[in-house]
Chains A and B, each alone.
Chain A
Amino acid sequence: MAKSIEVDNLDIYYGDFLAVENVNVHIKAKSVTAFIGPSGCGKSTVLRSLNRMHEVIPGARVSGNVRVDGQALYAPGVDPVAVRRQIGMVFQRPNPFPTMSIYENVLAGNRLNAKRMGKSEADDIVERSLRGANLWNEVKDRLGKPGMGLSGGQQQRLCIARAIAVEPEVLLMDEPCSALDPISTSAVEDLIHELKSEYTIVIVTHNMQQAARVSDDTGFFNLKAVGEPGQLVEFNPTTKVFSNPDNEATEAYVSGRFG
């Protein structure tokens, strides 16, 4: 069951520093939503606040409302660990666990959560997740080898397999292709298309073509001014953002006439 996410008046702080101001977004279930914008304008910060990974950084906090299928994410009594079990995340740099084999890496989420499972069930999860991440054919003969031995693109798909192995409701992707070559990028994009049928996906990207290719809705972030917090300038269906955006700055950015 994929979930929708509702963000209202979200302000995000690092200590006293207001990083992102007043974000309002409605992310639809079973769709791909892309965040684009220049570096340092808070795309990743907003993304991390959607599964409470933001607060892992000391001093970081948020104010405002994030609701996942109507449940407030930042209400008192919400367990961040439980949130993260339902909202998975793929990071910019591939980060497989160096002490684990490919097989163990895929199962890490289940194993680390002390879930007991039989051998056949575990094999099933590994195969399903690796197939889902388009990696099965490349690694099926060496599941026992260390995950760090794979190439960068394979490692990133391994991390995606690891994220979908725990069957989250929502998948957050923070520039998942920025360290990948075009072929791996295309594999990950195909994967996003397939995953869309089961998951809600939010992706941060610097690659506007990628946003145009994979996403249904696009949010454009920008700094208000130098030294001011970042903000969500425009949020619209991708086709509209790339053909006829409401905002002048958005048009300048997507057409490459920025600044």
Chain B
Amino acid sequence: MALQTQAPTSGSMSITAGQLPRTATPMVAVFAAAIGVVAGLLLGSGIAMMVFIAWLVFTLGLFVWSRTVEGSRKAKDRTINAVVWSAFVLAMIPLVSLVVTVVVKGGPVLSPGFLSRDMTGFAALGQGGGIYHAIMGTIMVTALAAIIAVPIGIFTAIYLVEYGAGKPLAKVITFLVDVMTGIPSIVAGLFAVSLFIAVSDEPLPRLGIGGGIALSLLMLPTVIRSVEEMLKLVPNDLREASYALGVPKWRTIVKVVLPTSVAGIVTGVTLAIARVAGETAPLLLICGTFPSANWNPFNGAVQTLPVYIYTSLSQTSHAKYGDIWTDRVWGAALVLIIIVMALNLIARIIGNVFAPKTGR
């Protein structure tokens, strides 16, 4: 190539190069799909093999074609492009398949009755019953966890960013928060169980507040980390501007720093809540199961959606009532996914609503 561009006949460097037609990619894709199907039929293999062969032909074909027409740089670009897209599609397959399956199988189960009834008296029957108690339990336990973890988390983050920066205590706290991130959820459950054994003297305590404490342990590092990042994003200029007006530090934090970062803080906190709403292991240990709604977090087992799904699963092999239990599991799974996705959506909406406005 270098020799060509310096050829004495050309005189100046060319700025044009060969180009594939705009429809090159779909053309190769159709061609590769055809080859894949034919090869698959000839070899007598399944769909997965066909897709793999087609993908291989597509990537190689596009590379070779582009290389001969456009040169090696563009050929590499097209290949990497294809690889990145393939990786993206590969990553999306389980997610899409999961959502589709749960919606298809759980959708028909959702009825006003399923959402408004609990399992009292229905557990041994082949019909009826619902998950009202589990939905309410999940909401109550998650809310308790949020009430415990969010203030502690926000205040810790404020200390780390505004007061502790560079101090040994802050470094220790940051390290411990990192360690906390890695706590297995079942260990958080065990902590809650042993805590309430020590407090209540019961051999195996079952109570909602225990679930709240276990979940708050899991939430805390996420909340601290996300709030810390948000507070760090607030420009120091604003703090100095506030100090220069003679505003005390705590008022600067309350009136300037927090309002500036509130969108990010609320988003981070909501995502942390969504993250723990689906936890199963600790709730299985400390909240147990219960056939009806229990609004008293300080006494008695509380049913939650993940635990409901887990315990119902063992009933799906029941000779007579297996099918209804299967339906209940899918329905409960769909409701849990809807709750978590709704929290994610709320986080985004809140983030947009609170974002500082720059409009003229």
Q: Which residues of A contact B (CB under 8 A)?
A: 51, 53, 56, 58, 81-86, 88-89, 91, 93, 95-99, 108-109, 111-114, 145-146, 148-149, 159, 162-163, 166
Contacts A84-B243, A95-B237 known; list 12 others, CB within 8 Å: A56-B239, A58-B165, A81-B246, A84-B246, A93-B237, A95-B235, A98-B260, A99-B259, A111-B255, A112-B252, A148-B356, A149-B357
| Partner pick for B245 among A114, A149, A163, CB 8 A cutoff | A163
Any chain A CB within 8 A of the CB of B183?
Answer: no
Q: What band does the interface of chain B fall in when counting residues whose beta carbon is under 8 Å from A? A: 20 to 34
Whether A89 touches B244, Cβ cut-off 8 Å, given contacts A112-B251, A146-B359, is: yes
Q: Would you list 30 pairs from A and B whose C-beta atoms are within 8 A, ordered by A residue?
A: A53-B240, A53-B244, A56-B239, A81-B248, A82-B246, A84-B246, A85-B245, A85-B246, A88-B244, A91-B244, A93-B237, A95-B240, A97-B241, A98-B260, A98-B358, A99-B256, A99-B260, A108-B242, A108-B245, A109-B245, A111-B255, A112-B242, A112-B245, A113-B245, A113-B251, A145-B359, A146-B358, A146-B359, A148-B356, A162-B241
B260: chain A residues within 8 A (beta carbon)? 97-99
Give the CA-CA distance A114 to B358 in the complex, in Å: 26
* Total A-B pairs, Cβ < 8 A: 88
Most B Cβ at <10 Å: residue of A86, A98, A149: A98
Most A Cβ at <10 Å: residue of B165, B237, B238, B243: B243
Q: Are B256 and A97 in contact (CB under 8 A)?
A: yes
From 215 to 264 in chain B, residues with beta carbon under 8 angstroms from any chain A beta carbon are: 235, 237-248, 251-252, 255-256, 259-260
Q: Are A146 and B255 in contact (CB under 8 A)?
A: no
The 4 A-B residue pairs whose C-beta atoms are closest, nearest first, are A85-B246, A109-B245, A89-B244, A98-B356
Q: Are B235 and A114 in contact (CB under 8 A)?
A: no
Any chain A CB within 8 A of the CB of B121?
Answer: no
B242: chain A residues within 8 A (beta carbon)? 97, 108, 112
Residue of A nearest to B256 (CB): A97
CB of A148, distance to nearest CB on chain B (Å): 5
Give the CA-CA distance A56 to B165 in the complex, in Å: 12
Any chain A CB within 8 A of the CB of B166?
Answer: yes
Give the CA-CA distance A71 to B74 in the complex, in Å: 73
Any chain A CB within 8 A of the CB of B73?
Answer: no
Q: Are A95 and B246 in contact (CB under 8 A)?
A: no
Give the CA-CA distance A108 to B260 in the complex, in Å: 14
| Partner pick for A149 among B237, B247, B248, B360, CB 8 A cutoff | B360
